[in-house]
Amino acid sequence: MQPPRRKTKLFSSETDVMKHAAAAGVGGGGGRKGNNLSVFVVVFSMFLFGVFIYNEDVKSMAEFPFSWPKNQEIQEGSGSTQLNAEKAVAQGTRSPKREALGTAKSISQTKEEEEKEHKIEMPVIEEEEEAVELPPKECDLFTGQWVFDNVSHPLYREDECEFLTAQVTCMRNGRKDSMYQSWRWQPRDCSLPKFKPRLLLQKLRNKRLMFVGDSLNRNQWESMVCMAQSVVPHGRKSLRKTGSLNIFRIEDYNTTIEFYWAPFLVESNSDDPNMHSILNRIIMPESINKHGRNWKGVDYLIFNTYIWWMNTFAMKVLRGSFDEGSTEYDEISRPVAYGRVIRTWAQWVDQNVDPNHTTVFFSSMSPLHIKSLDWDNPDGIKCAKETTPVLNATAPLNVGTDRRLFVISSNVTRSMKVPVHFMNITTLSEYRKDAHTSVHTIRQGKMLTPEQQADPQTYADCIHWCLPGLPDTWNEFIYTRILQHS
């Protein structure tokens, strides 16, 4: 008679199954049929165990959100099945505090990633990769004619540039005509590239551009600031004045456009940027290092010196130095003194400027328009009430420019070791009798009164220029050279 079959627990442990199999093997008297039954029980028990584990894994997977796996979840894939189940249980029993911290960390990381993406994309939005046709480097930019063009000029609006000083805001100061803003310089054999402020700022990124010289270079500096700042958002640009140095900073490009006051380039008794209205002007022609130390390391340097030489025929040259309290001086002719100063400046540039890092410009003289007979207007009063340029450019216009100084600066810059771009602005500017500030300006820090404006013979300023206006063209030359050499 066959012994009664022992009941097996449905979810017996693996150990119990093995014991059962061993007992069946030892009591081999059960015969072949008993042997087969034992094997079947072992296999069936293992099958049920596998189904149980599978169901637990599916259940734990269903409890996870559909998102990128966390580090702990990625690690689970390499462990045993039981380890998977244990870690799933562990994650299911995380404390609410720990879960909240994890969520907050995840949100913080997401915000940081979004900010990084935004910071990376900003320069792409700012940059403007449009084709710009450049003139050949050998083209003479300074020989040509003035063309009226109220489509492309002015390059900016007077009322949209908050950094203009009252000295140059002619329309705000009462000037009625505005044609002076819309004349474009057309070189004879080529064309100037279209001005694009973003493109200029791209070339100036992480760089410094500095004008060095007198109030005409300050005039040009204000122009360059306005040309560049038109595409810069409010709050991302600033102006700071420190002694002889004015610094206009554009944050998003990490660039500065600067002006350094040094009317003679060398030391003089007119070096105070605020108190320099001195008739008895004295210079030290061989002393430049006090100024020059402020120019070192600048990427673009634009120099000029002229108008402060024109109030006397002879220049006073100090014996000794200002620091020693010297007061005695010698009087020498203007061209001789000018030559000594320009050679001192050239020596400083050759010894202190790395042409691989710094580009140097020297601007020729900015002309005056004092006598209306110079342009055949016997009824005129200096430059007052002039509304158009001299358009008959067949012959040079003689408005009293000291060409001897032009020749000296041109010859010296050509003989220097460091390359210097000589900006011949003189002739083309002599045609612009219409572009001066005239009576629409300030004098000694105060706006001209109506009575003073009615007396242009005494009060008209025929030295400085309205903005927008002629200095914008000078800066277009610099813009062109920067693009050509970048």
Length of the chain: 486
Catalytic residue among 374, 434, 461, 472: 461
Q: Is 464 a catalytic residue?
A: yes
Exposure b/e, 296-318, CB count within 10 A at least 16 = b: eebbbbbbbbbbbbeeeeebbbb
Q: Quickly list DSSP for 337-370.
A: HHHHHHHHHHHHHHHH--TTT-EEEEE-PPP---
Contact (Cβ atoms closer than 8 angstroms) between residue 34 and residue 6: no
Phi, psi of 367 (to 5 degrees): -80, 165
Catalytic residue among 45, 215, 223, 363: 215
Catalytic residue among 153, 369, 440, 464: 464
Q: Is 438 a catalytic residue?
A: no
Q: Quickly list DSSP for 48-91.
A: HHHHHHHHHHHHHHHTS-SSPPPHHHHHHTTS-HHHHHHHHHHH
Helix axis angle, 334-352 relative to 403-414, nearest 10°? 20
Sort residue 382 into left (φ over 0), alpha (ψ -120 to 50) or beta.
left
Q: Is 215 a catalytic residue?
A: yes
Q: What is residue 408's three-state secondary structure?
A: helix
Beta-carbon contacts of 399 under 8 Å, excluding residues fewer than 6 positions away, are 367, 368, 369, 370, 371, 374, 375, 430, 433
Active site residues: 215, 461, 464
